[in-house]
Amino acid sequence: MVLIIMVRFSNIMFLHIYKIMNKFISPIVFFLLLPLILSCNKENRIVKEVKELQGKPISFIDGYQYDNPNLSVSVDSCLQSKIKMVSYWEDFSCTQCAYKILVKWEKEFHEKIGSNVNYIFIINSMEKNLISELRHMGFSLPILLYPDNSYGQKNQLNVLARNKTFLLDENNKIVVVGEPFGNDALWNVYKEAIKILNNNLINHSE
């Protein structure tokens, strides 16, 4: 419970700093200053990873298989969307269990976030039937399948599974980190971040 509070505080703190600093300095300077703002000794690994990931740029490299039941949404429109949530899964220790969890995850995502923010599920797996099985179970969100772990290696995502879900801004930099499934408090952090990002986009377009 203490860890959840610490991670949520770190995300909220980042959001408020992001919101305030965005008015006065460029995003580049902000993200350079971020490690100093969030520095602390002897941190728990979870919190430490969250702080290291916040502000980190994410690359969508070639070598993936794209699948989306919504044929009107191309891979380019997905990857180039201004705001998006991403989850990265490497291994399925219990495939059927994972399928069921992901279907529940999608339902919760739609309930909490809605359809205004793109979500991309990224998988590292050699399992050839993984996508078809997920679709058979009812999972309908866009999928990028990497069979060679190149995505994780390129983005240096050797972190705990609970830190492999994040919100990206228009520059594909991580704004919020953490698995929100079953965690209303963290969902609220994501929603607040999305509101801030949308406001920034509106202000920049004026």
Q: Determine the Cα–Cα distance for residues 64 and 190; give it in Å rounded to an integer.
A: 27
Q: Following CA atoms 50, 55, 59, 60 in sequence, which dihedral angle do they give, to the nearest 10 degrees?
A: 70
Between β-strands 65-67 and 143-146, what pairing exists: parallel, antiparallel or unpaired? Answer: antiparallel
Q: Which residues of 3-14 are buried (b: 16+ CB within 10 A; e: fewer)?
A: eeeebbebbbeb
Per DSSP, helices labelled H in the chain are 2-21, 27-37, 45-53, 75-79, 95-112, 130-137, 150-154, 184-205
Give the range with max mean pLDDT: 1-15, 114-128, 180-194.
180-194
- Which of 145, 142, 168, 131 has the alpha carbon at shortest distance from 75? 142
What is the percent of the chain where pLDDT is above 70? 76
Average pLDDT over residues 68-94: 87
pLDDT top residue among 14 and 157? 157
| Confidence check: pLDDT of 3 > 50 | no
Give the range with max mean pLDDT: 3-12, 92-101, 102-111, 116-125.
102-111
Average pLDDT over residues 35-63: 76
Average pLDDT over residues 81-93: 85
Q: Determine the Cα–Cα distance for residues 134 and 143; give it in Å rounded to an integer.
A: 10
SS3 40: coil
Q: Looking at residue 162, what is its pLDDT?
A: 87
19-26's contacts with Cβ under 8 Å and 24+ in sequence apart are: 19/196, 22/200
pLDDT top residue among 59 and 97? 59
Q: Looking at residue 180, what is its pLDDT?
A: 93
Average pLDDT over residues 46-63: 90
Average pLDDT over residues 11-20: 55
| Confidence check: pLDDT of 109 > 90 | yes
SS3 145: strand
Residue 176 contacts residue 190 (beta carbons within 8 Å): yes
Does domain 57-205 fall under CATH 3.40.30.10? My reply is yes
Kindly report, residue by residue over 115-163, the tens digit of the pLDDT.
889 999 999 887 778 889 899 999 999 999 998 878 888 898 888 888 9
pTM of the complete model: 0.75
Average pLDDT, rounded, for the chain = 80
pLDDT top residue among 191 and 203? 191
Which residues are within 8 A (CB) of 189 and not within 5 positions of it... i.e. 6 or more apart?
8, 11, 12, 15, 176, 178, 180
pLDDT top residue among 203 and 27? 203
95-112 and 130-137 helices cross at what angle (nearest 10)?
Answer: 50
Between β-strands 84-89 and 165-168, what pairing exists: parallel, antiparallel or unpaired? Answer: antiparallel
Q: Determine the Cα–Cα distance for residues 181 and 162; give it in Å rounded to an integer.
A: 10
